[in-house]
A = this chain, B = another copy of it.
């Protein structure tokens, strides 16, 4: 496991710009350490970026992604906080389950569409 990653290393790995990474820092999503003014990204920052990119692909906004990420940051010690956190986790999961239903439906419809295309090709005498 590497100690540190430079900003450009990560921009290449995730195919994003430096501006984007700095923006995520401004937004409090990541907190790379500094050597002088230069940012040094730890493996944990890298993992956070992976989570951010996943969230983006799933259509979560920066705010929603922040909500998820913050849950990982603070492992609360107090009972009330823990229960609240479990509730918030459950909400996010419900959100994700909705997305999964949407996804399966969309995939299903695309399957149908493709099938009808293939049928049409067969009618036209095309050997698939």
In the complex the two chains form, is B89's CB within 8 Å of A110's CB? yes
Interface residues of A in 49-99 (CB under 8 A from B): 51, 54-60, 68, 71-72, 75, 77, 79, 82-83, 85-86, 89-90, 92-93, 96-99
* Chain B contacts for A71, CB-based, 8 A: 113
* Chain B contacts for A92, CB-based, 8 A: 110
The segment out of A13-21, A22-30, A118-126 that lies at the interface is A118-126
**Identical chains bound together, number:** 2
Residues of A in contact (CB 8 Å), total: 43
Q: Known A57-B102, A60-B59, A102-B57; judge A120-B75 contact (CB<8 A).
A: yes
Q: Known A100-B103, A103-B103; judge A85-B126 contact (CB<8 A).
A: no
In the complex the two chains form, is A96's CB within 8 Å of B103's CB? yes
Interface residues in chain A, defined as those with a beta carbon under 8 Å from any beta carbon in chain B: 51, 54-60, 68, 71-72, 75, 77, 79, 82-83, 85-86, 89-90, 92-93, 96-100, 102-103, 105-107, 109-110, 113-114, 116-118, 120-121, 124, 126
* Chain B contacts for A106, CB-based, 8 A: 51, 54-55, 58, 68, 96
